[in-house]
Amino acid sequence: MSFPDIRPRRLRRTPAIRRLVEETRIAPSELVLPMFLREGLTEPKPISSMPGVVQHTRESLLKAAHDAVSAGVGGLMLFGVPEDANKDETGSAGLDPEGILNVGLRDLRREFGDATVVMGDLCLDEFTSHGHCGVLAADGSVDNDATLEIYAEMAVAQAEAGAHMVGPSGMMDGQIGVVRRALDKAGHQDIGILAYSAKYAGAFYGPFREAVESTLQGDRRQYQQDPPNLREALREVDLDVAEGADIVMVKPALAYLDVIAAIRERVTVPVAAYQVSGEYAMVEAAAANGWIDRERVILESLTSIKRAGAQITLTYWASEVAGLLRG
Ligand code: PBG
Protein backbone atom coordinates (compact mmCIF):
# COMPACT_ATOMS: atom_id res chain seq x y z
CA MET A 1 0.00 0.00 0.00
CA SER A 2 1.27 3.45 -0.79
CA PHE A 3 1.72 6.05 1.92
CA PRO A 4 -0.37 7.64 3.42
CA ASP A 5 -2.41 4.61 4.49
CA ILE A 6 -5.03 6.70 6.16
CA ARG A 7 -6.69 9.49 4.21
CA PRO A 8 -9.11 11.72 6.16
CA ARG A 9 -9.67 13.70 2.97
CA ARG A 10 -11.85 10.85 1.62
CA LEU A 11 -14.63 12.05 3.90
CA ARG A 12 -14.41 15.60 2.55
CA ARG A 13 -14.50 14.78 -1.13
CA THR A 14 -18.11 15.60 -2.12
CA PRO A 15 -20.86 17.71 -0.59
CA ALA A 16 -22.91 14.54 -0.04
CA ILE A 17 -20.11 12.81 1.84
CA ARG A 18 -19.47 15.90 3.91
CA ARG A 19 -23.15 16.11 4.73
CA LEU A 20 -23.14 12.45 5.79
CA VAL A 21 -20.33 12.91 8.30
CA GLU A 22 -21.29 16.36 9.60
CA GLU A 23 -21.02 16.29 13.39
CA THR A 24 -22.85 19.48 14.27
CA ARG A 25 -26.01 20.76 12.68
CA ILE A 26 -27.98 23.77 13.83
CA ALA A 27 -31.75 23.85 13.74
CA PRO A 28 -34.25 26.73 13.94
CA SER A 29 -35.86 25.34 17.10
CA GLU A 30 -32.74 25.91 19.17
CA LEU A 31 -32.50 29.61 18.26
CA VAL A 32 -34.06 32.25 20.46
CA LEU A 33 -34.72 35.77 19.17
CA PRO A 34 -34.03 38.67 21.57
CA MET A 35 -36.43 41.55 20.88
CA PHE A 36 -36.70 45.13 22.10
CA LEU A 37 -40.04 46.78 22.83
CA ARG A 38 -39.83 50.56 23.29
CA GLU A 39 -42.55 52.43 25.12
CA GLY A 40 -44.14 55.35 23.29
CA LEU A 41 -42.96 54.62 19.76
CA THR A 42 -45.33 55.12 16.87
CA GLU A 43 -43.12 53.26 14.43
CA PRO A 44 -40.18 50.87 14.75
CA LYS A 45 -36.88 52.63 15.38
CA PRO A 46 -33.64 51.28 13.89
CA ILE A 47 -30.70 50.71 16.24
CA SER A 48 -27.79 52.24 14.35
CA SER A 49 -25.10 50.03 15.88
CA MET A 50 -27.14 46.90 15.11
CA PRO A 51 -28.14 47.22 11.46
CA GLY A 52 -31.30 45.19 10.86
CA VAL A 53 -32.40 45.25 14.52
CA VAL A 54 -35.05 47.70 15.72
CA GLN A 55 -36.79 48.89 18.81
CA HIS A 56 -40.34 47.71 18.27
CA THR A 57 -43.75 49.22 18.75
CA ARG A 58 -46.35 46.87 20.20
CA GLU A 59 -47.66 46.22 16.70
CA SER A 60 -44.31 45.65 15.03
CA LEU A 61 -43.26 43.38 17.89
CA LEU A 62 -46.12 41.02 17.14
CA LYS A 63 -45.42 41.09 13.44
CA ALA A 64 -41.71 40.30 13.90
CA ALA A 65 -42.61 37.63 16.43
CA HIS A 66 -44.91 36.03 13.87
CA ASP A 67 -42.10 36.01 11.33
CA ALA A 68 -39.83 34.33 13.86
CA VAL A 69 -42.33 31.73 14.97
CA SER A 70 -43.36 30.85 11.46
CA ALA A 71 -39.70 30.47 10.49
CA GLY A 72 -39.45 27.87 13.28
CA VAL A 73 -37.50 29.92 15.85
CA GLY A 74 -37.64 28.22 19.25
CA GLY A 75 -38.41 31.14 21.55
CA LEU A 76 -38.51 34.90 22.10
CA MET A 77 -36.58 36.83 24.74
CA LEU A 78 -38.16 40.20 25.39
CA PHE A 79 -36.47 43.38 26.63
CA GLY A 80 -38.57 46.38 27.59
CA VAL A 81 -37.35 49.94 27.07
CA PRO A 82 -39.38 52.45 29.08
CA GLU A 83 -39.64 56.14 28.32
CA ASP A 84 -37.06 58.18 30.24
CA ALA A 85 -39.77 59.64 32.45
CA ASN A 86 -40.59 56.13 33.67
CA LYS A 87 -37.08 55.29 34.84
CA ASP A 88 -36.37 55.74 38.53
CA GLU A 89 -33.84 54.83 41.22
CA THR A 90 -35.39 51.43 41.91
CA GLY A 91 -36.60 50.48 38.44
CA SER A 92 -40.22 50.34 39.52
CA ALA A 93 -41.54 50.23 35.93
CA GLY A 94 -40.16 46.70 35.77
CA LEU A 95 -42.61 45.58 38.45
CA ASP A 96 -45.60 47.46 37.13
CA PRO A 97 -48.07 45.16 35.33
CA GLU A 98 -48.58 48.10 32.94
CA GLY A 99 -44.83 48.62 32.51
CA ILE A 100 -43.65 48.16 28.95
CA LEU A 101 -41.98 44.77 29.45
CA ASN A 102 -45.00 43.22 31.12
CA VAL A 103 -47.31 44.71 28.50
CA GLY A 104 -45.17 43.12 25.80
CA LEU A 105 -45.05 39.75 27.52
CA ARG A 106 -48.83 39.80 27.81
CA ASP A 107 -49.20 40.70 24.12
CA LEU A 108 -46.88 37.88 23.05
CA ARG A 109 -48.52 35.27 25.24
CA ARG A 110 -52.00 36.28 24.17
CA GLU A 111 -50.96 36.07 20.54
CA PHE A 112 -49.03 32.80 20.64
CA GLY A 113 -50.31 30.87 23.65
CA ASP A 114 -48.00 27.88 24.02
CA ALA A 115 -46.96 27.85 20.36
CA THR A 116 -43.62 29.44 21.25
CA VAL A 117 -41.62 30.03 24.43
CA VAL A 118 -42.09 33.55 25.74
CA MET A 119 -39.24 34.77 27.95
CA GLY A 120 -38.64 38.01 29.81
CA ASP A 121 -35.32 39.62 30.69
CA LEU A 122 -35.33 39.81 34.47
CA CYS A 123 -33.05 42.71 35.30
CA LEU A 124 -33.37 46.31 36.38
CA ASP A 125 -30.89 48.07 34.11
CA GLU A 126 -33.46 49.09 31.51
CA PHE A 127 -35.65 50.56 34.23
CA THR A 128 -33.26 52.34 36.57
CA SER A 129 -32.34 55.99 36.12
CA HIS A 130 -28.69 55.11 36.83
CA GLY A 131 -28.66 52.11 34.48
CA HIS A 132 -27.33 49.55 36.96
CA CYS A 133 -28.80 46.06 37.22
CA GLY A 134 -29.86 46.64 40.81
CA VAL A 135 -30.62 49.30 43.36
CA LEU A 136 -27.81 51.37 44.79
CA ALA A 137 -26.55 51.44 48.36
CA ALA A 138 -25.58 54.73 49.99
CA ASP A 139 -21.98 54.34 48.80
CA GLY A 140 -23.07 53.97 45.18
CA SER A 141 -22.43 50.23 44.95
CA VAL A 142 -25.18 47.86 43.83
CA ASP A 143 -26.96 46.50 46.89
CA ASN A 144 -27.23 42.74 46.32
CA ASP A 145 -29.88 41.78 48.84
CA ALA A 146 -32.12 44.79 48.33
CA THR A 147 -32.03 44.01 44.61
CA LEU A 148 -33.04 40.40 45.22
CA GLU A 149 -36.28 41.51 46.80
CA ILE A 150 -37.12 43.47 43.69
CA TYR A 151 -36.19 40.60 41.36
CA ALA A 152 -38.56 38.36 43.31
CA GLU A 153 -41.48 40.69 42.65
CA MET A 154 -40.42 41.27 39.07
CA ALA A 155 -40.38 37.54 38.39
CA VAL A 156 -43.91 37.15 39.68
CA ALA A 157 -45.05 40.13 37.57
CA GLN A 158 -43.54 38.54 34.45
CA ALA A 159 -45.11 35.18 35.22
CA GLU A 160 -48.44 36.87 35.70
CA ALA A 161 -48.02 38.70 32.40
CA GLY A 162 -47.61 35.34 30.71
CA ALA A 163 -43.89 34.56 30.48
CA HIS A 164 -43.14 30.84 30.21
CA MET A 165 -39.65 31.53 31.50
CA VAL A 166 -37.82 34.36 33.18
CA GLY A 167 -34.20 35.20 32.48
CA PRO A 168 -32.44 36.68 35.52
CA SER A 169 -29.48 38.52 34.01
CA GLY A 170 -28.30 40.82 36.80
CA MET A 171 -25.60 38.54 38.30
CA MET A 172 -26.71 39.17 41.89
CA ASP A 173 -25.71 36.44 44.35
CA GLY A 174 -28.67 34.25 45.20
CA GLN A 175 -30.90 35.54 42.41
CA ILE A 176 -31.96 32.13 41.14
CA GLY A 177 -32.99 30.84 44.56
CA VAL A 178 -34.90 33.99 45.41
CA VAL A 179 -36.73 34.01 42.09
CA ARG A 180 -37.52 30.29 42.35
CA ARG A 181 -39.02 30.69 45.80
CA ALA A 182 -41.01 33.76 44.85
CA LEU A 183 -42.46 32.06 41.78
CA ASP A 184 -43.37 28.95 43.76
CA LYS A 185 -44.93 30.95 46.54
CA ALA A 186 -47.13 32.78 44.04
CA GLY A 187 -48.28 29.49 42.50
CA HIS A 188 -45.98 29.72 39.47
CA GLN A 189 -44.04 26.52 40.11
CA ASP A 190 -44.25 25.69 36.39
CA ILE A 191 -42.57 28.89 35.21
CA GLY A 192 -38.97 28.17 34.28
CA ILE A 193 -35.73 30.00 34.92
CA LEU A 194 -33.20 30.58 32.17
CA ALA A 195 -30.25 31.65 34.31
CA TYR A 196 -27.61 33.97 32.93
CA SER A 197 -25.11 32.05 35.05
CA ALA A 198 -21.80 33.05 33.54
CA LYS A 199 -22.20 36.58 32.31
CA TYR A 200 -18.97 38.43 31.71
CA ALA A 201 -18.33 42.13 32.20
CA GLY A 202 -16.60 42.44 28.86
CA ALA A 203 -16.87 45.01 26.08
CA PHE A 204 -19.18 43.07 23.76
CA TYR A 205 -22.41 44.66 25.00
CA GLY A 206 -21.70 48.10 23.51
CA PRO A 207 -24.48 48.19 20.91
CA PHE A 208 -27.02 46.84 23.42
CA ARG A 209 -26.56 50.04 25.39
CA GLU A 210 -27.96 51.92 22.42
CA ALA A 211 -30.71 49.32 21.96
CA VAL A 212 -32.04 49.88 25.47
CA GLU A 213 -30.99 53.55 25.71
CA SER A 214 -28.89 52.71 28.73
CA THR A 215 -28.02 55.52 31.10
CA LEU A 216 -25.17 53.59 32.69
CA GLN A 217 -22.08 55.49 33.77
CA GLY A 218 -19.12 53.29 34.52
CA ASP A 219 -19.33 49.52 34.24
CA ARG A 220 -20.72 46.35 35.81
CA ARG A 221 -17.45 44.83 37.01
CA GLN A 222 -18.59 44.60 40.61
CA TYR A 223 -21.26 42.09 39.69
CA GLN A 224 -20.59 40.55 36.29
CA GLN A 225 -17.67 38.18 35.88
CA ASP A 226 -14.11 39.06 35.05
CA PRO A 227 -13.27 37.82 31.52
CA PRO A 228 -10.08 35.95 32.50
CA ASN A 229 -11.94 33.57 34.83
CA LEU A 230 -13.26 30.13 33.91
CA ARG A 231 -13.41 28.25 37.20
CA GLU A 232 -15.41 31.08 38.67
CA ALA A 233 -18.02 30.41 35.97
CA LEU A 234 -18.27 26.80 37.12
CA ARG A 235 -18.86 28.00 40.65
CA GLU A 236 -21.63 30.33 39.45
CA VAL A 237 -23.22 27.52 37.46
CA ASP A 238 -23.08 25.08 40.39
CA LEU A 239 -24.86 27.63 42.56
CA ASP A 240 -27.50 28.37 39.95
CA VAL A 241 -28.25 24.70 39.37
CA ALA A 242 -28.47 24.11 43.12
CA GLU A 243 -30.80 27.09 43.43
CA GLY A 244 -33.12 25.77 40.75
CA ALA A 245 -31.99 27.00 37.33
CA ASP A 246 -33.74 25.07 34.55
CA ILE A 247 -31.30 26.23 31.86
CA VAL A 248 -27.89 27.85 32.38
CA MET A 249 -26.42 30.38 29.99
CA VAL A 250 -23.02 31.74 29.05
CA LYS A 251 -22.70 35.25 27.68
CA PRO A 252 -21.14 36.46 25.39
CA ALA A 253 -20.75 33.37 23.19
CA LEU A 254 -17.94 33.35 20.64
CA ALA A 255 -15.20 34.65 22.91
CA TYR A 256 -16.23 32.21 25.65
CA LEU A 257 -16.48 28.87 23.83
CA ASP A 258 -14.17 27.29 26.39
CA VAL A 259 -16.56 28.32 29.13
CA ILE A 260 -19.51 26.83 27.24
CA ALA A 261 -17.61 23.56 26.75
CA ALA A 262 -16.58 23.30 30.40
CA ILE A 263 -20.09 23.96 31.62
CA ARG A 264 -21.56 21.48 29.17
CA GLU A 265 -19.28 18.80 30.65
CA ARG A 266 -20.36 19.66 34.15
CA VAL A 267 -24.14 19.96 34.19
CA THR A 268 -27.12 17.96 33.00
CA VAL A 269 -29.46 20.92 32.50
CA PRO A 270 -29.53 22.45 29.01
CA VAL A 271 -26.76 24.94 28.28
CA ALA A 272 -27.53 28.12 26.36
CA ALA A 273 -25.30 30.85 24.95
CA TYR A 274 -26.05 34.46 24.07
CA GLN A 275 -24.50 35.75 20.87
CA VAL A 276 -24.55 39.36 22.00
CA SER A 277 -24.93 42.72 20.35
CA GLY A 278 -21.19 43.29 19.84
CA GLU A 279 -20.80 39.92 18.13
CA TYR A 280 -23.67 40.85 15.84
CA ALA A 281 -22.34 44.33 15.13
CA MET A 282 -18.83 43.15 14.24
CA VAL A 283 -20.10 40.74 11.61
CA GLU A 284 -22.57 43.23 10.16
CA ALA A 285 -19.90 45.94 9.96
CA ALA A 286 -17.34 43.72 8.28
CA ALA A 287 -19.95 42.38 5.87
CA ALA A 288 -21.11 45.89 5.01
CA ASN A 289 -17.53 46.65 4.02
CA GLY A 290 -17.41 43.58 1.83
CA TRP A 291 -14.68 42.06 4.00
CA ILE A 292 -16.40 38.79 4.89
CA ASP A 293 -19.12 36.55 3.50
CA ARG A 294 -21.92 37.55 5.84
CA GLU A 295 -24.14 34.47 5.69
CA ARG A 296 -21.29 32.01 5.95
CA VAL A 297 -19.80 33.80 8.93
CA ILE A 298 -23.17 33.86 10.68
CA LEU A 299 -23.71 30.14 10.15
CA GLU A 300 -20.12 29.30 11.08
CA SER A 301 -20.33 31.26 14.31
CA LEU A 302 -23.61 29.60 15.32
CA THR A 303 -22.25 26.17 14.44
CA SER A 304 -19.17 26.84 16.57
CA ILE A 305 -21.29 27.84 19.53
CA LYS A 306 -23.26 24.62 19.23
CA ARG A 307 -20.12 22.52 18.70
CA ALA A 308 -18.74 23.97 21.94
CA GLY A 309 -21.80 22.63 23.74
CA ALA A 310 -24.63 25.16 23.67
CA GLN A 311 -27.89 23.49 22.71
CA ILE A 312 -29.76 26.80 22.69
CA THR A 313 -28.45 30.09 21.29
CA LEU A 314 -29.90 33.55 21.65
CA THR A 315 -29.09 35.45 18.48
CA TYR A 316 -30.37 38.55 16.73
CA TRP A 317 -30.12 36.56 13.49
CA ALA A 318 -32.56 33.89 14.70
CA SER A 319 -35.33 34.57 12.17
CA GLU A 320 -33.01 34.99 9.23
CA VAL A 321 -31.00 31.89 10.07
CA ALA A 322 -34.14 29.83 10.63
CA GLY A 323 -35.21 30.88 7.14
CA LEU A 324 -31.81 29.98 5.65
CA LEU A 325 -31.81 26.57 7.33
CA ARG A 326 -35.23 25.78 6.00
CA GLY A 327 -34.04 26.75 2.53
C1 PBG B 1 -28.88 43.14 31.20
C2 PBG B 1 -28.52 42.62 29.86
C3 PBG B 1 -27.52 43.08 29.01
C4 PBG B 1 -27.57 42.30 27.86
C5 PBG B 1 -28.60 41.38 28.04
N6 PBG B 1 -29.15 41.57 29.29
C7 PBG B 1 -26.60 44.24 29.15
C8 PBG B 1 -25.49 44.21 30.12
O9 PBG B 1 -25.32 43.26 30.88
O10 PBG B 1 -24.75 45.19 30.17
C11 PBG B 1 -26.68 42.43 26.68
C12 PBG B 1 -27.13 41.75 25.44
C13 PBG B 1 -26.37 42.14 24.23
O14 PBG B 1 -25.34 42.84 24.29
O15 PBG B 1 -26.80 41.72 23.13
N16 PBG B 1 -30.27 43.37 31.28
Would residue 87 show up in a list of annotated catalytic residues for this protein?
A: no
Q: Is the CB of 251 under 6 A from ligand 1?
A: no
Catalytic residue among 63, 87, 185, 199, which? 199
Distance from the alpha carbon of residue 293 to the mean position of ligand 1, in angstroms: 27
pLDDT one-digit tens code per residue, 258-276: 999 999 999 999 999 999 9
- Is residue 55 in contact with ligand 1, taking CB distance under 6 Å? no
Residue closest by Cα to atom 6 of ligand 1:
169
Q: How far does the centroid of ligand 1 lie from the alpha carbon of residue 1, in Å?
A: 58
CA–centroid distance, residue 125 to ligand 1 (Å): 9
Beta bridge partners of 262: none
Q: Is residue 199 annotated as part of the catalytic site, yes or no?
A: yes
pLDDT of residue 217: 85
> Which segments in the chain show pLDDT lower than 70?
1
Q: What is the pLDDT of residue 153?
A: 98
Which residue's CA is the closest to the ligand 1 atom numbered 2?
Answer: 169
In DSSP terms, 117 is beta-bridged to 75
In this predicted structure, what is the pLDDT of residue 242? 98
276 C-beta closer than 6 A to ligand 1: yes
Residues 228 and 183: beta-carbon distance below 8 Å = no
Instruction: Map the chain to HEC letters.
Output: CCCCCCCHHHHHCCHHHHHHHCCCCCCHHHEEEEEEEECCCCCCEECCCCCCCEEECHHHHHHHHHHHHHCCCCEEEEEEECCHHHCECCCHHHCCCCCHHHHHHHHHHHHHCCCCEEEEEECCCCCECCCCCCCECCCCCECHHHHHHHHHHHHHHHHHHCCCEEEECCCCCCHHHHHHHHHHHCCCCCCEEEEEEEEECCCCCHHHHHHCCCCCCCCCCCCCECCCCCHHHHHHHHHHHHHCCCEEEEECCHHHHHHHHHHHHHCCCCEEEECCHHHHHHHHHHHHCCCCCHHHHHHHHHHHHHHHCCCEEECCCHHHHHHHHHC
With a 6 Å cutoff on the Cβ, whether 277 touches ligand 1 is yes
Each residue's pLDDT tens digit, 102-137? 999 999 999 999 999 999 999 999 999 999 999 999
